Amino acid sequence: MVEVVITYKLKPGVSREEYRAWSRDVDQPIASRQPGVLSYKIIEIEGGDAEAPFDILEVIQATSWEAWKEVPEREEMQPVVARFLELCDAGTVHMLHGREIQP
């Protein structure tokens, strides 16, 4: 299993309400049921000790990095990816993967 972390900013003019509705009604239901996806969590950043360099943090558990990389290529995901690119600033997207350090 691998943990995938994705961060990004919303495009100027995209409201958090608009993004939230799309995430809740479209993205999360479709992406979470893709083969290889074990869990899919979206976190809207509200604040912290300093200004965050991103608005959204995604935390995904997948069977493997390779399995996750196939998700956006699937036919069912094409309209989801297209809308993501309309809402999110592609230049701010960072995708990382790793494994939890077990105690």
List domains and CATH numbers for the chain.
Answer: 2-98 (3.30.70.100)
What pLDDT, in 10s, does the model give residues 86-102? 999 999 999 999 999 99
Q: How far apart are CA 57 and CA 6, in angstroms?
A: 6
What is the average per-residue pLDDT within 18-25? 98
- Per cent of the chain over pLDDT 90 is 94
